[in-house]
Structure 1
């Protein structure tokens, strides 16, 4: 396998089941306050992306009628590379440990006052999560259930934009999120969608 520099995640594996199990075994530790903390974990990643790109990002948080939440940003999209066999490999942000924060006792605090741990917390504690990625070199979507990918990367039609959308549903307690949406490199819009009647 191609050796890539591991700055935030280890590219050698796409899923770390022991890591995901450890998160699920200590929900109160890794998602204090419930869904709010998961939203902040996703926004922190988008904030990082905007900062590294040297720009101010746009992000939309949508509260769906079925209780799910989607967070869409206009960044460069999750890093995707091609290995020596021609296989598309994406940065394993959803199902492996964030090397910067997860085990760091001095991890930065999110706006809810609790430590940042990484995107794997969101995936592990969600009944389902759909990661949609748009980059200049291609777009795809992938579904996870409790942090485990249940589909391959499924190509989607490019729409001329770049960015990442994380759409997830979990049964943790919900709380008001608006007072906590304080990220220095993001302009955040919150939308509420009602459940469509059949």
Structure 2
């Protein structure tokens, strides 16, 4: 018996690694899920980092980096994305990028600082031509690349940083700048946000 079937549903259902139907729905209705453009997707990523910081009971530090190719990296010092092993000993990551966040379905509305509803990290992944999720925890570090929410390969081990945390780099064709307003920078009470721009 696959022991993942006994895992409880927290923010995501661990028994499903990729919800292709959900990802396709997001892409098919990008005018709704992508409302607010690049800024909204950036706020979705920051909200996830804020969850991590709140779970640790301390203000987390986040660095937002804008790259010349239009991609954005959000790096936090949180606990890192949860990973577990299945009955065969394989590492299984919490499916935050490729499945819906159960907190934000069935009409549940949690507004982000732009006033639009929070829908979860899977929306960011589905609306990004490329998203790289890098994870650092005490038990190991790995990276996963997604194309419109679909993993393009298995987990790839990466060198650890000596600390825990998550790095999400995404690039999307949605309109508008991925720029945070002064109000955005103070809206997440569990985060201290620094913004950087790489020019070359």
Could you give the per-residue CA deviations for residues 135-155 of structure 1, whole angstroms, max 9, x where no partner exists?
011000010001000021100
Structure 1 counterpart of 2:190: 185
- Number of aligned pairs? 194
CA shift for structure 1 position 72: 0.4
Q: Does 1:164 align with 2:174?
A: no
Partner of 1:79: 82
CA distance in 2, matches of 1:85, 1:188: 40
Secondary structure in 1 matching 2:103 = coil
Match of 1:173 among 172, 175, 198: 175
SS of aligned partner of 1:23: helix
- What does residue range 63-74 of structure 1 map to in structure 2 within 5 Å? 63-74=66-77
Unaligned runs of 5+ in 2: none
> CA–CA distance in 1 between the matches of 2:42 and 2:7?
29
Instruction: Say if 2:51 is the partner of 1:48.
Output: yes
The alpha carbon displacement at 1:178 in A equals: 3.0
- Report 1:61-140 matches (<5 A): 61-101=64-104, 103-140=105-142
* TM superposition score normalised by structure 1: 0.95
> Does the 8 A contact of 2:36 with 2:116 survive in 1?
no
Q: State the alpha-carbon separation in 2 of the partners of residues 147 and 106 from structure 1.
A: 22
For normalisation by structure 2, the TM-score amounts to 0.94
1:10 aligns with 2:13: yes
SS where residue 168 of structure 2 aligns? strand
- Helix, strand or coil for the counterpart of 1:100? helix
1:58-95: CA deviation from partner (whole Å, max 9, x where unpaired): 00110101100000000010000011111000000000
- Provide runs of 4+ in structure 1 moved above 4 Å: none
By percentage of residues, which structure has more helix?
A: 2
Asked if 1:25 corresponds to 2:28, the answer is yes
